[in-house]
Amino acid sequence: MEDEAEIYDGARAQFPLTFGKQSKSQTPLEQIHNATRRSATAATASNESDKKSSSSKPSSEPVSPKPRIGPSRPPQSLANSDSNREEDDDDRDVPVGPPPPPPGQTVDDDDDGEAMVGPPRPPLRAVDDSDDDDGEMVGPPRPTAPVSDSDEDEDEEEENQHRIPTSNEIVLKGHTKIVSALAIDHSGSRVLSGSYDYTVRMYDFGGMNSSLQSFRQLEPSEGHQVRHISWSPSADKFLCVTGSAQAKIYDRDGLTLGEFVKGDMYIRDLKNTKGHITGLTCGEWHPKARETVLTSSEDGSLRIWDINDFKSQKQVIKPKLARPGRTPVTTCTWDREGKCIAGGVGDGSIQVWTLKPGWGSRPDVHIEKAHSDEITGIKFSSDGRILLSRSFDGSLKVWDLRKTKEALKAFEDLPNNYSQTNVALSPDEQLILTGTSVERESPTGGLLCFFDRSKLELVSKIGVSPNSVVQCAWHPKLNQIFATTGDKGQGGTHILYDPTLSERGALLCVARAPRKKSVDDLEIQPVIHNPHALPLFRDAPSRKRQREKILKDPLKSHKPDLPMTGPGHGGRIGSSKGSMLTQYLMKKGGMLKETWMEEDPREAILKYADVAAKDPKYIAPAYADTQPEPVFAESDSEDEEKR
């Protein structure tokens, strides 16, 4: 046997390791990305460019409707310019009018092979030109395209310079209602989404395949909507804020680490309570400190907590109000360095506090009536000078914290119906993005709007979903855009990316096909019977057994009485099987005789008189000594006849 094994090993060594193995069929990446490519109608498009394109004259050549995202094409080489132009002319039909010059061409060859000096020669026209073919043209080239086409090219170049990754799209589904909270860790490997269906779903790009299923589902607080989620700076924990008065801390795998204490609702002064007394509205982890978190509540206060002590807070902040009372704080945030706190108050004001020794609740910056309605989201720029705000009044405003009397810019006509609608910045902070809600009679769905921060103008609007867009984020490492959508019946997280610009993230899970099930995966789960287990660990009875047990019980199953045959009694038919037990025994023993209708009532009573006199049982023995003897009058038949 050993000799045969050595011979086999020696022969096997002459063949490659892949000999005899069936190679798995792999789908090319181009085909995978084509399946997730967005349609041309949902691609990037600006309002201004749409107006210009509709009003401009049609060009002589058909223009591809597909937008170019990314850097402009490199100029063609000198050797290939003429050949490419000749091939294009052969493939296309004869155009009507002058053809536009090929883009990117800087040097052209003359008919005699000599290089032309100066600008490129304009193409031949129907009208006879006086220029000589062999002569060199001096001066700028003639205009060959209308002004509107050049404007469109400039708009495309402006869009391309922002490099917005929107060519492909995937959707992380699973929620049954609108997704109101979103958090991506700093490395871009895990995504958390919270919804109005009271659950939090955890997605891992490294372990997820193209089925896009979450690996864990949590319910932080039963019956309370999830309103905000925030990762810690080290991404080993995350904060979950729900509609309850207590925020929770979870580790990276979704295990509960602690829950902050709830305050006493009967204490009037909020600074004397140990925690929030009403539902939370927002919360965010400190950008630098791993133990500090910030929460805001409907009770009208902001609180700073230390996760090492869940029983009390570090600081209580009460915003400045025009009228005494409790006005809810709808949103809150830190700046990039964690030295300032900004809060949006229900009366439409924005207040900023600077963390310094001896600081209190008096705000350093107070913008009264910043919005006409409640504020749903605020965001600091990295330098801490610009503040962005989003509100229910359908506007997005850009503020300079050095001049707060008036906003730098207010973008209107941005519908907002959800209190978690936020505003975000691109990684280079050149673009501002936010989502819009769907109005009842509006034909358009939820949009993702991009604004230029330096020019303070609209760059583009992207149709993401027929439902409202609530949360949005642009991850700096992945270069992918996340947008949460949904309505009363469904919810999901849309991820926009570009295979040429984005890295990891969605690219990892899209290219990973789900594992096919084989016969070896079949595992029979052993059945363990433990009749003496504690009620906490006892297995719940199966529904089938419970159903069978209920069917046997005539009361729980509401089983009707079976019909009977033959004469009956008391409204029931039958005499033996279906009759009552008392009736059956009396009939069998001969005790049941219906003779009361034939007897005289007086005789029926008097027949027991002798028995009662001889053997008194109840009342007569008690009065035996004191009761007089009854004397009955003897009747005389003669007297009765006379009467």
Q: What is the mean pLDDT of residues 622-635?
A: 74
HSE, side-chain direction, 13 A CA sphere, residue 329:
30
pLDDT band at residue 197, thresholds of 50, 70 and 90?
very high
Our CA dihedral for 275, 279, 281, 285, rounded to 10 degrees, sits at 40
For 404-446, the pLDDT digits (tens) are 999 999 999 999 999 999 999 999 999 999 999 998 888 888 9
- Non-local CB neighbours of 433 within 8 Å, separated by 6+ positions: 423, 424, 425, 426, 448, 449, 450, 451, 472, 474, 481
Residues 465-485 have a mean pLDDT of: 94
Non-local CB neighbours of 444 within 8 Å, separated by 6+ positions: 438, 463
Distances 413 to 152, 394, 396, 397 between C-alpha atoms, Å: 25, 6, 9, 12
> How much is the mean pLDDT over the chain?
78
Q: Torsion over CA of 265, 315, 360 and 372, rounded to 10 degrees?
A: -60
pLDDT in tens, 350-396: 999 998 887 777 899 999 999 999 999 999 999 999 999 999 999 99
Is the pLDDT at 605 greater than 80? The verdict is yes
- pLDDT reading at 23 higher than 80: no
Rounded to whole angstroms, what are the CA distances from 70 to 52, 157, 188, 339, 510?
22, 9, 22, 36, 22
Kindly list the strands in the beta sheet with 302-306, ordered across the sheet, starting from the edge strand earlier in the chain.
280-285, 292-297, 302-306, 315-317
At 303 the pLDDT is 94
SS3 state at 480: strand
Greatest mean pLDDT among 161-170, 196-205, 320-329 lies in 196-205
* pLDDT score for 82: 45
Among the listed residues 116, 114, 111, 120, the one whose alpha carbon sits nearest the alpha carbon of residue 142: 120
Dist CA 331 CA 353 (whole Å): 14
Helix or strand holding residue 484 (H, E): strand 480-486
102 pLDDT higher than 60: no
What local confidence, expressed as pLDDT, does residue 425 receive?
Answer: 94
Mean pLDDT calculated for residue range 476-484: 94
Give the mean model confidence (pLDDT) for residues 521-534: 80
Compute φ and ψ for 461, nearest 5 degrees. Answer: -125, 130
Share of the chain above pLDDT 90, in %: 42
Interatomic CA distance for residues 484 and 491, integer angstroms:
8
User: Tell me, what's the pLDDT at 19?
Assistant: 57
pLDDT at residue number 529: 80
pLDDT confidence of residue 16 = 63
Q: Which amino acid is at 200?
A: V
Per-residue H/E/C for 418-469? CCCCCEEECCCCCEEEEECCCCCCCCCCEEEEEEECCCCEEEEEEEEECCEE
Is the pLDDT at 47 greater than 80? The verdict is no
Which pLDDT score is estimated for 312?
87
In whole angstroms, give the CA distance from residue 34 to residue 42: 15
pLDDT, residue 324, reads 79
pLDDT in tens, 295-346: 999 999 999 999 999 998 999 999 988 777 889 999 999 999 999 999 999 9
Q: Best-predicted range by mean pLDDT among 30-34, 36-40, 218-222, 515-519?
A: 218-222
Sign of CA dihedral 354, 356, 359, 364: negative
Looking at residue 11, what is its pLDDT? 61
Residue 52's pLDDT band (boundaries 50, 70, 90)?
A: very low
> Whole-structure pTM over 0.75, yes or no?
no
Q: Tell me the per-residue pLDDT of 107-159, one tens digit each, with 9 for 90 and over.
A: 444 444 445 555 666 555 444 444 444 445 565 666 554 444 555 555 555 55
CA-nearest of 240, 253, 237 to 289 is 237
Distance CA 73, CA 160 (A): 11
Q: pLDDT confidence of 489, banded at 50, 70, 90?
A: confident
**CB within 8 A of 583, min separation 6: which ones?**
569, 570, 592
pLDDT tens digit string along 393-412? 999 999 999 999 999 999 99
Query: Which region among 40-44, 103-107, 484-488 has the lowest average model confidence (pLDDT)?
Result: 103-107
pLDDT for residue 525: 79
- Is the pLDDT at 580 greater than 90? The verdict is no
Structure confidence at residue 552 as a pLDDT band (50, 70, 90) = confident
pLDDT at 46: 42
Confidence of residue 541 (pLDDT cuts 50, 70, 90): confident
Query: For residues 513 and 2, which has the higher predicted lDDT (pLDDT)?
Result: 513
